[in-house]
């Protein structure tokens, strides 16, 4: 998957987690926590969704990389470069 495809996938996951949220205004450089009030349970879901959808395993120590859209894409790009787009 390309960086843009990964971004779309994360947006899709966020849309699942928070169906009432307007994601079109998301600032990629700002943390999800601040913009969407996501908590640790929600970050667990981003990890679980990636595992379920793409078999990507993210160790607990790496959760910090999922802070914002930019940092998430940067972290996932090498891990998902061979992942086929669903």
Partner 1 sequence: MVYDTIIIGAGMSGLAAGIRLAMYDQRVCVLEKHTTIGGLNSFYRLRRRDYDVGLHALTNITPKGTRKGPLARLLRQLRFSWDDFQISPQIGSQVVFPGRTLGFDNNPALLEAEVVREFPAQADNYRRFVAAIADYDDLTDEHQQLSARQVVSSYLTEPVLVEMLFCPLMFYGSAREHDMDWGQFCIMFRSIFLEGLGRPHAGVRLILKNLVKKFRGMGGELRLRAGVDRLHVENGRVTGVVLDSGDVLEAKRVLSSAGWVETMRLCDDGTPVEVAGSAQRSAGRLSFCETISTLDVDPKQMGYDRTITFFNDHERFDWTVPAEPCDLRSGVICSPNNFDYATALDDGRGGRGTMRITVLANHDYWHGLDEAAYPIEKLRWFDRINAAGVRFTPDYRSRIIDTDMFTPTTITRFTGHDNGAVYGAPEKQLDGATHLENLFVCGTDQGFVGIVGSIVSGIGMANLHCLKE
Return residues touching partner 1 (CB under 8 A): 16-21, 36-37, 39, 41-42, 44-45, 48, 51-52, 60
Q: Of 48 and 81, which CB lies nearer to partner 1 in the complex structure?
A: 48
Taking the least distance from each CB to partner 1, the nearer of 2 and 57 is 57
What is the rounded CA–CA span in Å between residue 33 and residue 56? Answer: 22
Query: Please, which residue, 59 or 78, has the CB nearer to partner 1?
Result: 59
Instruction: Compute the least distance from the CB of residue 10 to partner 1, in Å.
Output: 15
Is the CB of residue 12 less than 8 Å from the CB of residue 23? no
Nearest approach, Cβ of residue 51 and partner 1 (Å): 8
Q: What is the closest distance, in whole angstroms, from the C-beta atom of residue 86 to partner 1 in the complex?
A: 16
């Amino acid at each position: 998957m390309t960086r843009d495809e990964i971004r779309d996938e994360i947006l899709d996951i966020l849309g699942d987690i928070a169906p009432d949220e307007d994601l079109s205004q998301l600032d990629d450089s700002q943390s999800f926590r601040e913009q969407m009030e996501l908590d640790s349970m929600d970050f667990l879901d981003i990890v679980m969704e990636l595992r379920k959808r793409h078999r990507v395993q993210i160790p607990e120590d790496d959760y910090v990389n999922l802070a914002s859209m930019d940092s998430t894409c940067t972290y996932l790009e090498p891990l998902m470069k061979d992942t086929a787009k669903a």
